[in-house]
Amino acid sequence: MDAKYGLPKNLMQWVDNHRDRLKPPVCNAAIFPDGNYIINMVGGGNQRTDFHDNPTEEIFYQLRGEAFLVVWDRGRFERIDLKEGDIFLQPPHLIHSPQRPDPNGLCLLIELPRPQGKQDSLQWHCAHCGAEVWKATQQLESLVDDLPKVYDRFYALKDEERVCPDCGTQHPGKDYRIWHEQLSRSSVRDF
Ligand SMILES: [Fe+2]
């Protein structure tokens, strides 16, 4: 027998053994790092202001706690709740920002390897008017390794490099509280 990715394992025991990797800032660890499916466990409490444009589908299975996605679609911010026990198949290119305020939350996230030439984007939007403030597009090889490098590039920008090109609102960078406070007063928010 060549069960080359390992024998079945107890998922919650795996969680207990990888608790440290499910904490901020990454909150994300691969359960079967050698397989073709990307099967990750995602913890909480994240504090993200980025949006993700994935050229492939994503499956979210919210095992514990609650989370939500802020979605940027057709010029509006909308919200998709992930309640405990919910499963969601997200279509390609639905631009989303996963919000996981619960430090004990757990979500099983299943993604596909990206076909060559199909690129992911991480992008930051003006909370006030929705305009794109900054974006990085690349061929994604590893969720766990590639994404934090893009965050670091955005967070390193100067204040004047994070000004909305449309309305002039200052994007607060990684300041999640200010970004969400701006979002609560947004002119393009539907929740
Ligand atoms: Fe703006």
Instruction: Provide block-wise average pLDDT over 10 residues at a time, the chain (191 residues).
Output: 94 96 85 94 92 98 98 98 98 97 96 96 98 97 85 95 97 95 97 94
Residue 5 in domain: no
* 27 C-alpha to ligand 1 centroid (Å): 29
Residue 67 in domain: yes
* 37 C-alpha to ligand 1 centroid (Å): 37
CA distance 185 to 62: 28
Residue 139 in domain: yes
- Which residues lie closer than 8 Å to 32 by C-beta, 6 or more apart? 5, 6, 39
| CATH code of the domain in which 74 resides | 2.60.120.10
CA distance 132 to 27: 25
Domain extent at residue 143: 21-184
* 73 C-alpha to ligand 1 centroid (Å): 16
pLDDT at 25: 67
CA distance 100 to 148: 17
Residue 4 in domain: no
Residue 103 in domain: yes
Residue 7 in domain: no
pLDDT at 23: 87
* 126 C-alpha to ligand 1 centroid (Å): 5
In the structure, ligand 1 is a single-atom ion and the residues with CB under 5 Å from it are 126, 128-129, 131, 164, 166-167, 169
Quote the pTM value. 0.94
Give yes or no for a contact between 50 and 97, defined as CB atoms under 8 angstroms apart: yes
* 76 C-alpha to ligand 1 centroid (Å): 13
Return left, alpha or beta for 168; rule: phi > 0 is left, psi -120 to 50 is alpha, else beta: left
Number of compact structural domains in the chain: 1
pLDDT at 176: 92
Our CA dihedral for 136, 138, 144, 150, rounded to 10 degrees, sits at -20
Residue 62 in domain: yes
Residue 173 in domain: yes
